[in-house]
Amino acid sequence: MNMEDITARRNEPWRDELRKSMPAKDRTNIARVVMPELDPAYRITCNEEVNQGLTEEQALLEAKRCLDCPEPLCMTGCPVGINIPTFIKHIEKGEFLQAASTLKETSALPAVCGRVCPQEKQCESQCFYLKKLKKQPVAIGYLERFAADYSREHGTGEVPACAPANGIKIAVVGSGPCGLSFAGDMVKYGYDVTVFEALHEIGGVLKYGIPEFRLPNKFVDVEIDTLRKMGVTFVTDCIVGKTITYDDLHEMGFKGVFVASGAGLPRFMNIPGENLIGIMSCNEYLTRVNLMGAARQDWDTPVLSGKNVAVIGGGNTAMDSVRTARRLGAERAMIIYRRSEEEMPARKEEVEHAKAEGVEFMTLHNPIEYLGDETGKVTTMRLQRMELGEPDESGRRSPVEIEGAIEDVPVDTVIVAVGVSPNPLIPNTIKELEISRRGTIVVNEETMQSCLPDLYAGGDIVRGGATVILAMGDGRRAAAAMHEQLSK
Amino acid sequence: MNKIVSKEFFSDKVVKLVIEAPLIAKARKAGHFVIVRVDDKGERVPLTIAGADIEKGTITLVVQTVGKSTVKLGNLNPGDYIADVVGPLGQATHIDKVGTVVCCGGGVGVAPLLPIVQAMKAAGNRVISVLAARSKDLIILEDEIRASSDEVIIMTDDGSYGTKGLVTEGVEQIIKREKVDQCVAIGPAVMMKFVSKLTAQYNIPTVVSLNAIMVDGTGMCGACRVTVGGKLRFVCIDGPEFDAHQVDFDELMMRLRSYKEVE
Ligand SMILES: Cc1cc2nc3c(=O)[nH]c(=O)nc-3n(C[C@H](O)[C@H](O)[C@H](O)COP(=O)(O)OP(=O)(O)OC[C@H]3O[C@@H](n4cnc5c(N)ncnc54)[C@H](O)[C@@H]3O)c2cc1C
Ligand code: SF4
Ligand code: FES
* Domain at B31, CATH number: 2.40.30.10
More confident: A64 or B10: A64
Give the structural domain span for B118: 100-256
The helix-helix angle for A140-154 and A96-106 (nearest 10°) equals: 110
Nearest ligand to the C-alpha atom of residue B89: 3
Percent of chain B topping pLDDT 90: 71
Q: What is the mean pLDDT of residues B129-135?
A: 92
Angle at A259 between CA A257 and CA A265, to 5 degrees: 155
Same domain, B243 and B132: yes
Task: Nearest chain B residue to A283 by CA: give it.
Answer: B221
* Residue B95 counted as domain residue: no
* Pairing status of strand B182-186 against strand B100-106: parallel
Tell me which architecture the domain covering A268-416 has in CATH: 3-Layer(bba) Sandwich (3.50)
Percent of chain A topping pLDDT 70: 100
Predicted pLDDT of residue B59:
95
What is the overall mean pLDDT for chain A?
A: 92
More confident: B122 or A107: B122
Q: How confident is the model at residue A397 (pLDDT cuts 50, 70, 90)?
A: confident
Same domain, B217 and B114: yes
Question: Please, which residues have CB within 8 angstroms of residue B145's CB and are 6 or more apart in sequence?
Answer: B105, B110, B113, B114, B117, B129, B131, B152
The fourth-level CATH superfamily of domain A3-154 is Alpha-helical ferredoxin (1.10.1060.10)
Comparing CA positions, the residue from A188, A263, A271 lying closest to residue A230 is A188
Tell me which architecture the domain covering A169-264+421-487 has in CATH: 3-Layer(bba) Sandwich (3.50)
Predicted pLDDT of residue B153:
94
Q: What is the mean pLDDT of residues A104-120?
A: 89
Predicted pLDDT of residue A251:
95
Number of structural domains chain B divides into:
2
Whether residue A176 has pLDDT greater than 80: yes
**B23-50 residue pLDDT tens:** 999 999 988 999 999 988 888 999 999 8
Same domain, B120 and B81: no
The helix-helix angle for A316-327 and A348-356 (nearest 10°) equals: 20
Q: Which of A154-158, A346-350, B2-6, B244-248 has the lowest mean pLDDT?
A: A154-158
B42 interaction partners in chain A (CB closer than 8 Å): 300-301
Predicted pLDDT of residue A106:
85
Q: What is the mean pLDDT of residues B132-158?
A: 91
What is the overall mean pLDDT for chain B?
A: 91
Predicted pLDDT of residue A427:
86
**A431-450 residue pLDDT tens:** 889 999 989 999 999 999 99
Nearest ligand to the C-alpha atom of residue A422: 1
Same domain, B130 and B233: yes
**B208-250 residue pLDDT tens:** 999 888 999 999 999 999 999 999 999 999 989 999 999 999 9
Task: Nearest chain A residue to B262 by CA: give it.
Answer: A302
Q: How confident is the model at residue B262 (pLDDT cuts 50, 70, 90)?
A: low
**B76-129 residue pLDDT tens:** 999 999 999 998 999 998 899 999 999 999 988 888 899 999 999 999 999 999
B236 within ligand 3 shell (Cβ under 6 A) = yes
* Domain at B205, CATH number: 3.40.50.80
C-alpha span between A309 and A326 (Å, rounded): 9
B88 interaction partners in chain A (CB closer than 8 Å): 242-243
Q: What is the pTM of this model?
A: 0.92
The alpha carbon of A204 and the centre of ligand 1 are apart by a number of angstroms equal to: 5
The alpha carbon of A177 and the centre of ligand 1 are apart by a number of angstroms equal to: 7
Beta strands in chain B (DSSP E): 2-11, 14-20, 33-37, 45-53, 58-64, 81-82, 84-89, 100-106, 126-133, 151-156, 163-164, 182-186, 206-209, 225-228, 231-234, 241-243
Verify whether the Cβ–Cβ distance B23 to A238 is below 8 Å: yes
To the nearest whole angstrom, how far is the Cα of B220 from the nearest Cα of chain A?
Answer: 5
To the nearest whole angstrom, how far is the Cα of B57 from the nearest Cα of chain A?
Answer: 13
The alpha carbon of A126 and the centre of ligand 2 are apart by a number of angstroms equal to: 8
Q: Which of A148-162, A267-281, B185-199 has the lowest mean pLDDT?
A: A148-162
Predicted pLDDT of residue B40:
87
Predicted pLDDT of residue B107:
85
Verify whether the Cβ–Cβ distance A281 to B221 is below 8 Å: yes
Predicted pLDDT of residue A1:
61
Percent of chain A topping pLDDT 90: 79
Continuous segment of H or E residues that includes residue A3:
helix A3-10
Predicted pLDDT of residue B259:
81
User: How are strands ordered across the β-sheet holding A308-312?
Assistant: A279-281, A413-416, A308-312, A332-337, A360-363
Of A236, A276, A284, the CB nearest to B223: A284
User: Could you say which DSSP state residue B136 is in?
Assistant: G
Question: B176 CB near a chain A CB, below 8 Å?
Answer: no
Question: Please, which residues have CB within 8 angstroms of residue A39's CB and are 6 or more apart in sequence?
Answer: none
B84 interaction partners in chain A (CB closer than 8 Å): 200, 236-237
Q: How confident is the model at residue B261 (pLDDT cuts 50, 70, 90)?
A: low
Q: Which of B35, B65, B89 is the last residue of a domain?
A: B89
DSSP class per residue in A162-176 = -PPP---EEEEE--S
Q: What is the mean pLDDT of residues A41-69?
A: 94
B234 within ligand 3 shell (Cβ under 6 A) = yes
ipTM, two decimals, is: 0.90
**A6-28 residue pLDDT tens:** 999 999 999 999 999 999 999 99
Same domain, B109 and B179: yes
Q: How confident is the model at residue A391 (pLDDT cuts 50, 70, 90)?
A: confident
Q: Which of B89, B116, B151 is the last residue of a domain?
A: B89
Verify whether the Cβ–Cβ distance A277 to B255 is below 8 Å: yes
